[in-house]
Chain A
Amino acid sequence: MNRIANRLAVLRTGKRIGLMTHVVIGYPSLETSLELVKLMAEEGVDFVEMQLPFSDPVADGPTLMRANEAALSQGVTVADCLATIRRIRTAVDIPLFVMSYYNLLYNYGTERFCADAQAAGVDGLIIPDMPPDEEEREKLFALCDAHQLINSTFVSPACSDARLAEIAGQCRGFTYCFSTYGITGAREELDPRLPAYLQRVRRLLPGALAVGFGIKKHEHITALQGKADVAIVGSALLDAYTQAVQDNGLEAVRLCIRDLLCEND
């Protein structure tokens, strides 16, 4: 059984909201990405989303864009990323997602990518610019199915009920819910419309709901308890890493995760 499904079952049993954290592979180095994921697993993170750096990350805010640029400026390739994921997989047992923009998969060969990701120990994909509308041509969901990968579906507050029902048709049990209008980046407050929107999504979509964009504090996560299955924190951890003095980046991330998880059991 897929590690993602297993972990979701554990969360359901424990009536606990899961935490998914984010790394940009190759930022600041491939070696540090490995260390970061190990640390995240040690600290009790439930899922890690590993982003393949891309030249044009359209849905990402300044924090993640800078990390993408920095990783690429060191010459990090898709093959380097897959090799690093392979090493990460030998070190940790938590579910791992690859987050990428579709062009990197398309250029690698979507089928070959799915096969190599599976072989590297990846459990799921998060590809925000590959909507279900293009599935007939791209076959990403079908290829993921064939390689035991869970391809995430996406919903946003702008989705009508009819659109949610359409997306439900492709749902494989894990849906990334954009918390608000906008791009990635830490925010002070959650969108006040979030609870009603998540209720609507819950009614129309099967499987787990993971909420991302703008989540940075423990209070944000507790506010999601009971309304979603997983909280996704990306930019806030990266901000903690880059703002830490000198060699304290890893420790800063560790503290940030502890803050996020406190009283959350």
Chain B
Amino acid sequence: MGKLFFSTNYDADTGGHFGEFGGRYAPELLMPALKELEQAYLSAKQDPNFEQELMDLYANYSGRPTPLYHAVNLSQQLGGAQIFIKNEGINHSGAHKINHCLGQALLAKRMGKRRLIAETGAGQHGLATATVAAKFGFACTVFMGEVDIARQRPNVFWMEQLGAEVRSVSFGSRTLKDAVNAALKDWFSSVEDTHYVLGSCLGPHPFPSMNRDFQAIIGLEVQEQIQQYGFAKPDYLVACVGGGSNAMGLFNTFLDDDAVQIIGVEAGGRDVGMLGEHAARFQGGRPGVVEGYKSFFLQNGDGQIAATHSVCAGLDYAGIGPQLAFLKQVGRVRMTYALDTEAIAAFKLLAQTEGILPALESAHAVAEAIKLAPTLGKDKTIVVNLSGRGDKDIFIVTEALGDAKWLEFLRSKVGQAEQISTKGRK
């Protein structure tokens, strides 16, 4: 396998700019911490011990390499290209987020920090941060929007069991962007002893480049694994794009090979024609400078950040990682979207044909593969990044599918719990 840290023609300049995007538009209170982090990251990249330590954690803690699985049944049913599933859901803690959390925890240790903070949408990044905090002995606070807490209660419970404090964010749209804001606010006052484990390839430099590098293991593994199936390289890569961490993790290895076509899938929500009803930044978004970086944002004419909607919390975000905005601008990555309904349908199809339950975020990528495969010959390959497994989405999926037996189950659990607590009081 190639070296974990490598450069491409699409890397940032020394100030963290990808073309016109990226940069470090942060208040002065954070600048010293960002520069300290940049230094720690640059020196770690040069240090073979760091790479070895991280590779060891990937293998023995997280369970890497994750499989690249040939979805034969799905491919046959669609009658076109061969679909391969890169199953990041097999990772410890259930998603690709653990990759950059392990890398950042090692950096935080090197910098002598004692506490980790993180934002989370679906809860996967918060869960991964709480996981590494427990393992490495950091105190941990996770910020999560009220709306997301309501739809992802199981992950909140697990984070708390891991010893993290989950702080509810009740301002703004009470989703992911507000959780980022709340984490930044905490960091303003705690920057001396706290590392902010930002959870995607976005935010001020060096986060976009650093998280991409900690996720690049995904693409490196795919490069090797696809050859074991007798293909020199994949023809298409497909990944869902919220901030862009799983997407950049898959894409980075292949950016300099123009023969590999790359597709990012945004959350089309209920309707991409209406601001507030979707989270597809390239369907009506414009350049802006928010939360420390320049990129594409869904915003109104004045630059006020718009509300977003997606069936899944992990894609429900108004901004996109700056490198992806750049890759889209220069035509290296094609951006498309999947609607809520298409993601749910893709979830069902993958579950029934292959026995794999994808996270609803990842189901957006599956939805695109379902559209793309029949248009291609059987000798073509599509690698779909399955960024996470679907267990966490049980409440959302049962609701979307109107599952009556689930509702009955919930009622009976509530009844039992009430009985027990009444007995307890007597």
Assess whether B112 is interfacial by the CB under 8 Å rule. no
Binds B, one of A36-44, A154-162, A226-234: A154-162
Give Cα distance in the complex from A129 to B20, angstroms.
Answer: 17
Number of A-B contacts (CB under 8 A): 119
Q: Contacts of B190 on A, CB cut-off 8 Å?
A: 181
Assess whether A130 is interfacial by the CB under 8 Å rule. yes
Q: Is the CB of A131 within 8 A of B288?
A: no
Assess whether A178 is interfacial by the CB under 8 Å rule. yes
Q: Is the CB of A129 within 8 A of B289?
A: yes
Instruction: Please pick, from A101, A133, A159, the residue contacting B24 in the complex, using a CB distance under 8 A.
Output: A133
Instruction: Report B259-302 CB contacts with A as 1/0, cut-off 8 Å.
Output: 00000000000000000000000000011111110000101011
Give Cα distance in the complex from A118 to B171, angstroms.
Answer: 33
Q: Is the CB of A106 within 8 A of B288?
A: yes
Assess whether B414 is interfacial by the CB under 8 Å rule. no
Q: Contacts of A158 on B, CB cut-off 8 Å?
A: 28-29, 31-33, 191-192
Give Cα distance in the complex from A131 to B294, angstroms.
Answer: 13
Rounded to whole Å, the gap between the CB of B223 and the closest CB of chain A is 35
Assess whether A84 is interfacial by the CB under 8 Å rule. no
Q: Contacts of B61 on A, CB cut-off 8 Å?
A: none
Assess whether A197 is interfacial by the CB under 8 Å rule. no
Give Cα distance in the complex from A66 to B422, angstroms.
Answer: 40
Q: Is the CB of A55 within 8 A of B286?
A: no
Q: Is the CB of A159 within 8 A of B32?
A: yes
A: contact size bracket: 35 or more
Assess whether B17 is interfacial by the CB under 8 Å rule. yes
Q: Contacts of B17 on A, CB cut-off 8 Å?
A: 137
Give Cα distance in the complex from A56 to B27, angstroms.
Answer: 13
Q: Contacts of A155 on B, CB cut-off 8 Å?
A: 28
Q: Is the CB of B27 within 8 A of A133?
A: no
Q: Contacts of A28 on B, CB cut-off 8 Å?
A: none
Q: Is the CB of A129 within 8 A of B286?
A: no
Give Cα distance in the complex from A106 to B28, angstroms.
Answer: 19
Rounded to whole Å, the gap between the CB of A129 and the closest CB of chain B is 5
Q: Is the CB of A107 within 8 A of B302?
A: yes
A 134-169 contacts with B by CB, 8 A = 134, 137, 154-156, 158-160, 163, 167
Give Cα distance in the complex from A154 to B32, angstroms.
Answer: 13
Instruction: Please pick, from B29, B178, B290, B305, the residue contacting A181 in the complex, using a CB distance under 8 A.
Output: B29
For B15, B188, B189, B190, which residue has the most chain A Cβ atoms within 10 angstroms?
A: B188
Give Cα distance in the complex from A77 to B299, angstroms.
Answer: 13
Of all chain B residues, the one with the shortest Cβ separation from A78 is: B302
- The answer to whether residues A183 and B299 also contact, given A69-B171, A134-B25 and a CB cut-off of 8 A, is no
Q: Contacts of A101 on B, CB cut-off 8 Å?
A: 290
Give Cα distance in the complex from A129 to B190, angstroms.
Answer: 18
Assess whether B237 is interfacial by the CB under 8 Å rule. no
Rounded to whole Å, the gap between the CB of A68 and the closest CB of chain B is 10
Q: Is the CB of A129 within 8 A of B33?
A: no
Assess whether A119 is interfacial by the CB under 8 Å rule. no
Of all chain A residues, the one with the shortest Cβ separation from B23 is: A134
- The answer to whether residues A54 and B304 also contact, given A61-B185, A131-B31, A178-B28 and a CB cut-off of 8 A, is yes
Not counting A101-B290, A107-B299, A158-B29, a sample of 6 additional A-B residue pairs whose C-beta atoms are within 8 angstroms of each other reads A58-B181, A58-B185, A58-B292, A133-B31, A134-B24, A158-B31
Closest 4 CB pairs of A and B: A107-B303, A182-B189, A154-B28, A158-B32
Q: Can you show 9 pairs from A to B with CB atoms below 8 A apart?
A: A55-B305, A66-B171, A102-B25, A107-B286, A128-B28, A137-B20, A156-B28, A158-B191, A182-B189
Query: What residues of chain A have their CB less than 8 Å away from a CB belonging to chain B?
Result: 54-56, 58-59, 61-62, 65-66, 69, 72, 77-78, 101-104, 106-108, 128-131, 133-134, 137, 154-156, 158-160, 163, 167, 178, 181-183
Query: What residues of chain B have their CB less than 8 Å away from a CB belonging to chain A?
Result: 15, 17, 20, 23-29, 31-33, 171-172, 177-178, 181, 184-185, 188-192, 286-292, 297, 299, 301-305
